[in-house]
Chain A
Amino acid sequence: MPDIVCKGISLGYGGKVIAEDISFTVEEGDYLCIVGENGAGKSTLVKTLLGLESPIKGEVLVDSKISKNSIGYLPQQTELQRDFPATVWEIVLSGCGKSLFFGKKQKAIATENMKKLGVDNLKDKCYRELSGGQQQRVLLARALCAAKRLLLLDEPAAGLDPVATNEMYHLVMDLNKQEDITVVMVSHDIKAAVRHAKHILHLGDGEMFFGTAHEYSHSKVGIRFLNSDKCGRCGE
């Protein structure tokens, strides 16, 4: 069975529908980018996949091997996090569980994930003193502690400078390729999405698209949103 199957779901809140009839599948080891305009329901869709919101219509099936607690989630940063007094170690470790004390095994997992993302040298640093790119890596390391197979990333490159953005995309791609982790990512950087992802889901008013990144580049919606007639993947 694929990791995630969505069948004709509609999203919205307070009786207002923001996106209708979304269908797609995410295979094991897949890399799906969700793109679309602001307010198209991208973040809501991620929350729905997590089970934090329920769809108005349709159903979301998540592979039973992926329990709710083994999905790594990277939410959008909130204002109050920016000056939060906590060390990198405290934050990464919090992804390992919700207990008061952490065992050796959990600490080893946290250490390993910090190394993977190159933030192990920041262990005792305070979160609020880090750069934007470093903060996102720390949050990604925390998500990895919770994740066994699936990562849900909500705009991991938001607010980062071009260099940090590039690094972030490469990190995610490495995780997908080398660690064989399934990635579902919301992004508004469509060009980067087409370059890195295997599949694209485009949400928008009557412009739903789901297919491979290559197909997207050649589709009507894709061409309009990429704002170029050249494919981001094959160059034609």
Chain B
Amino acid sequence: MISYYFQFDFVRYAFLVGILIALCSALFGVILVLKRFSFIGDGLSHTAFGALAVATVLGVSNPLYVVLPVTAVLAVLLLKAGQKRKIKGDASLAMVSVGALAFGYLLLNIFPASQNVAGDVCGTLFGATSILTLSTFDVYLCVALALVVTALFIILYGKIFLITFDENFARSMGIHTGAYNTVVAIVTAVIIVLAMNLVGSLLISALVVFPALSAMRVFRSFKGVVISSAALGVSCAAIGILGAVVSSVPVGPSVVAVNIIAFLLLFAVGKALKRE
């Protein structure tokens, strides 16, 4: 029965893109969770929604050209603010994200780009169907970006470990932590924007946070957490997308639901292992 669905290009594309996005989110999710930046995914995605609204109203041919740079700049600013500024990172994040959400929705209502504003907004927020309506260009772009992001993670693995565990020690070894944090911020923004296609902007955090947190319930080495987080992210996305296509429910909530089930399972396994 599943092979029936795989006859269709859009299902194959959705499957491929979904899995790649989940892989990237799960990898960088480990860094964000350990650095206590879990909420950044949420804040950035709300901002991305605002940027998307602006792009839609302006009639930009491919909204990605607007959304990606805006989100990337904000990610860099927020990660820096989290470290130094007087307004703490979480407060500025809350202000910006909720502001962007409100502003975006307002814009879409004042300058409606289609008949069904409420439906469009719901789709963007929860990722109702956008992953099933990807253009070939979107697919190539997603695949290319996902490969670059994954390659970056593997190449920088040693430095990522040093910086995530102990930024001061990393600096003493001559690593330019500022530059790496900027790279992490930009990559996070790219992942968020890509992931909007899959699960919609309200649900992105789940994709970033759940695989890493689930992996940490059971695995005790950094490498173990990274590998299992990636594996979990990918398999949850695969099961979630298939489930959504087969039972025709929206992809986003379905993927998130599978992630939550996986978390609960691993939580139980972790508890059981500890008791032994």
Show the binding face of A for B, using Cβ within 8 Å. Answer: 47, 50, 52, 68-69, 71, 73, 75, 78, 80-81, 84-87, 90-91, 94-95, 97-100, 124-126, 129, 142-143, 146, 152
Contacts and interface: CB of A to CB of B under 8 A. Distances in A.
Nearest to B155: A100
Nearest to B171: A52
Given A71-B172, A80-B34, A84-B34, A90 B161 contact: yes
B162 A85 contact: no
A92 B267 CA distance: 28
B175 interface: yes
A85 B158 contact: no
Given A91-B165, A94-B161, A98-B162, A85 B221 contact: yes
Query: For A47, A94, A97, A129, which residue has the most chain B Cβ atoms within 10 angstroms?
Result: A94
A99 B158 CA distance: 5
Contacts of A71: 172
A126 B223 CA distance: 12
A147 to B, nearest CB: 10
B36 interface: yes
Contact of B172 (A52, A94, A129): A52
Contacts of B65: none
A69 B175 CA distance: 10
B225 to A, nearest CB: 5
A97 B36 contact: no
Contact of A90 (B35, B155, B173, B221): B221
Q: Is the interface of A mostly helix, strand, loop or mixed?
A: mixed
A220 to B, nearest CB: 34
B252 to A, nearest CB: 28
Contacts of B168: 47, 52, 73, 75
A86 B161 contact: yes
B222 A90 contact: yes
Nearest to A77: B166
Contact of A75 (B164, B169, B220): B169
Interface residues of B, number: 29
B219 A85 contact: yes
B161 A87 contact: no
B221 A98 contact: no
B169 A100 contact: no
A86 B165 contact: yes
Contacts of B224: 85
B222 A86 contact: yes
B221 A126 contact: yes
Interface in B81-135: none
Interface string B125-168: 00000000000000000000000000000110111011011101
Given A94-B162, A142-B169, A86 B36 contact: no
26 contacts: A47-B168, A50-B171, A50-B172, A52-B171, A75-B168, A78-B166, A80-B34, A84-B34, A84-B165, A85-B220, A85-B221, A85-B225, A86-B161, A86-B222, A87-B222, A91-B165, A94-B158, A94-B165, A95-B169, A95-B173, A97-B158, A99-B158, A100-B154, A100-B157, A129-B220, A152-B172
Contact of A98 (B36, B154, B175): B175
B166 A75 contact: yes
A6 B101 CA distance: 53
Contact of A69 (B36, B174, B221): B174
B157 A81 contact: no
A140 to B, nearest CB: 12
A111 B65 CA distance: 50
Given A85-B220, A87-B220, A90-B221, A146 B172 contact: yes
A88 to B, nearest CB: 10
B216 interface: yes
A90 B175 CA distance: 18
Nearest to B167: A78
Contacts of A78: 166
Shortest Cβ-Cβ A-B pairs, 6 listed? A126-B220, A75-B168, A73-B172, A86-B222, A87-B221, A85-B225
A152 B158 CA distance: 23
Query: For B154, B219, B220, B224, which residue has the most chain A Cβ atoms within 10 angstroms?
Result: B220
A146 B174 CA distance: 11
